[in-house]
Amino acid sequence: MTTPASDAVALFEQLTGSTPAGVWSAPGRVNLIGEHTDYNDGFVLPFAIPHRTYAAVGTRDDGRIRVASTFTHDAVEVSLNELQTLFPTPTGSEPAVEEWAAYPLGVAWALQLAGATGTGVDIAIASDVPVGAGLSSSAAIEGATASALNDLWNAGLDRTALARIGRRSENEAVGAPTGIMDQMASMLGEADSAIFLDCRSLDANLVSVGVAEAGLAILVMDTRVKHAHSTGGYGERRAACERGAAIMGVPSLRDVSVDDLARAEGLMDDVTFRRVRHVVTENQRVLDTVQTLRENGARSIGDLLVASHASMRDDFEISVPELDTAVETALANGAIGARMTGGGFGGAAIALIEQSAVQDVTDAVTAAFAEKGFAAPNIFTVTPADGARRDS
Ligand code: ADP
Ligand code: MG
């Protein structure tokens, strides 16, 4: 049976005719709670999932970098010297290379900016992280590439620094204005734990999720509705948050509390206010979820998940009918809590359910999608898993 790790090695061998120097991997992530709070300097609570992206990497002596992926036919190759002329990608433009290749090449570029240098490399990528599903295949490809180059170029950067490298690639090479959450989750994940991250200080604390001990499971319901962060709604939501913070006279919405909302409402238009209210209440829900997990365990966080989904649906307006159907059907079939996860406009929802209910909830959500004429969802369970690592 092939695995993403063996697929990456096979692709490397096909590409170069030799064996790789090593294999590195980084996981996708699920965000338990805290959506669109990362770029507002706020709080998030993601965990790494067992699905991973693998990079089989070898050095070459001609100063060139080549990237290939099982997702696409053509490898992309440039000179390492050229990277600084290819990136950053001007705002609103397409990357100078195929978009997918801008993720790993942008990582090499950002590492160069951080002072790292080294030999040329061939990078072959394979993954079982669903792409564009809100499970952060982007942070996984960045994390696997950054970990490999950090080792091969002896850059000596720590995990937080590598997360920043990945984000820089995504923001400035790909041109997707995303926050730091995904990269931090992919770099810092640990089995059984979520990462309580303060996106202002990048202070990260592991919080035990304790789902299995409680007899519970976390179900991912990928709607297969694809989203794209480099276009459309994501950037508009960001702009609304910046507008709201400016009106409130603070550097970011992190500095607005739930008690300030009544005043905020009188200062801004209805749409901007609702965007602000989502971020401010979502930050509080993350804090409440961490406290609840620590004091009462996973069984007690259901209402917070449900409130988070309602806020994203009604105030931030980033849900879609498929996500709402997944959440509502899971709740109607006994889920303790459920919410969409990731940036929205498609992607996946999660449900916290009894272990014994996995099949029933899966069947119910699948049937509800069929009834509404939606494409069949991809439904599976996840457990919090380890972050980026060298595999061989
Ligand atoms: P998400 O992170 O939710 O999966 P994004 O739009 O942020 O969605 O990132 C998905 C993009 O990342 C893909 O369209 C592709 O360009 C790139 N990508 C992710 N994984 C791979 C891979 N294994 N091979 C090639 N490109 C990939
Ligand atoms: Mg992404």
Task: Summarize pLDDT for 34-75 with one digit per residue, the tens.
Answer: 999 999 999 999 999 999 999 999 999 999 999 999 999 899
What is the spatial distance between Cα 181 and Cα 189, in angstroms, rounded to a whole number?
Answer: 11
Assign domain 209-382 to its CATH superfamily: GHMP kinase, C-terminal domain (3.30.70.890)
Residue 228 has pLDDT above 80, yes or no: no
For 262, residues 6+ apart whose C-beta sits below 8 A from its C-beta are none
Q: Which of 119, 114, 159, 123 is nearest to 141 (CA)?
A: 123
Mean pLDDT across the chain, nearest whole number?
Answer: 96
Give every strand in the sheet of 348-354, ordered side by side. 337-341, 348-354, 216-222, 378-382
Report the share of the chain in percent with pLDDT over 90.
94
Q: Using 50, 70 and 90 to split pLDDT, how confident is the model at 231?
A: low
Q: Using 50, 70 and 90 to split pLDDT, how confident is the model at 380?
A: very high
For 237, residues 6+ apart whose C-beta sits below 8 A from its C-beta are 36, 275, 316, 318
What is the spatial distance between Cα 187 and Cα 192, in angstroms, rounded to a whole number?
Answer: 15
Q: Does the beta carbon of 229 sit less than 6 angstroms from any atom of ligand 1?
A: yes
For 222, residues 6+ apart whose C-beta sits below 8 A from its C-beta are 130, 133, 134, 135, 347, 348, 377, 378, 379, 380
Distance from the CA of 55 to the center of ligand 1, in angstroms?
14
Q: Are 268 and 174 in contact (CB under 8 A)?
A: no
Q: Does the beta carbon of 25 sit less than 6 angstroms from any atom of ligand 1?
A: no
Q: Does the beta carbon of 319 sit less than 6 angstroms from any atom of ligand 1?
A: no
Task: Summarize pLDDT for 178-200 with one digit per residue, the tens.
Answer: 889 999 999 999 999 999 999 99
Stretch 231-238: mean pLDDT: 84
Q: Are 353 and 217 in contact (CB under 8 A)?
A: yes
Report the nearest atom of ligand 1 relative to the CA of 102. Answer: 16
Choosing from 41, 182, 222, 315, the catalytic residue is: 182
Report the share of the chain in percent with pLDDT over 70.
99
Query: Tokens at residue 293, please?
Result: 């997990």
What is the spatial distance between Cα 126 and Cα 34, in angstroms, rounded to a whole number?
Answer: 29
Phi, psi of 240 (to 5 degrees): -65, -40
Task: Summarize pLDDT for 118-162 with one digit per residue, the tens.
Answer: 999 999 999 999 998 889 999 999 999 999 999 999 999 999 999
Q: Give residue 1's pLDDT.
A: 86
Ligand 1, residues 53, 76, 100: which to mutate, most atoms within 8 A of Cβ?
100
Q: What is the DSSP secondary structure assignment for residue 391, as one 8-state letter? A: -
Q: Are 25 and 52 in contact (CB under 8 A)?
A: yes
Q: Does the beta carbon of 143 sit less than 6 angstroms from any atom of ligand 1?
A: no
Q: Does the beta carbon of 99 sit less than 6 angstroms from any atom of ligand 1?
A: yes
Stretch 334-347: mean pLDDT: 95
269 catalytic, yes or no? no
Report the nearest atom of ligand 1 relative to the CA of 136. Answer: 2
What is the spatial distance between Cα 134 and Cα 344, in angstroms, rounded to a whole number?
Answer: 7
- Ligand having the closest approach to the CA of 98: 1
Residue 374's region, left for phi above 0, alpha for psi from -120 to 50, else beta, is beta
Q: Give residue 204's pLDDT.
A: 97
Ligand 1, residues 107, 141, 169, 230: which to mutate, most atoms within 8 A of Cβ?
141
Report the nearest atom of ligand 1 relative to the CA of 176. Answer: 7
Q: Give residue 171's pLDDT.
A: 96
Q: Give residue 2's pLDDT.
A: 94
DSSP states along 155-166: ----HHHHHHHH
Task: Summarize pLDDT for 79-126 with one digit per residue, the tens.
Answer: 999 999 999 999 989 999 999 999 999 999 999 999 999 999 999 999
Distance from the CA of 49 to the center of ligand 2, in angstroms?
14
**Domain residue ranges of the chain, discontinuous segments joined by +:** 4-206, 209-382
Look at strands 337-341 and 64-69 and give their pairing.
unpaired
Q: Give residue 234's pLDDT.
A: 85
Q: Does the beta carbon of 138 sit less than 6 angstroms from any atom of ligand 1?
A: yes
Residue 230 has pLDDT above 60, yes or no: no
Topology (CATH level 3) of domain 4-206? Ribosomal Protein S5; domain 2 (3.30.230)
Q: How many CB atoms lie within 10 A of CB 17?
A: 7
- Ligand having the closest approach to the CA of 227: 1
Q: Give residue 179's pLDDT.
A: 87
Distance from the CA of 104 to the center of ligand 2, in angstroms?
13
Residue 227 has pLDDT above 80, yes or no: no
Stretch 211-235: mean pLDDT: 86
Q: Which residue has the least CA distance to atom 26 on ligand 1?
A: 100
In the chain, DSSP assigns E strands to: 22-33, 43-60, 64-69, 76-79, 120-127, 193-198, 203-208, 216-222, 337-341, 348-354, 378-382, 389-390
Q: Using 50, 70 and 90 to split pLDDT, how confident is the model at 229?
A: low
What is the spatial distance between Cα 87 and Cα 82, in angstroms, rounded to a whole number?
Answer: 9
Phi, psi of 325 (to 5 degrees): -65, -45
End-to-end Cα spacing for the chain: 18
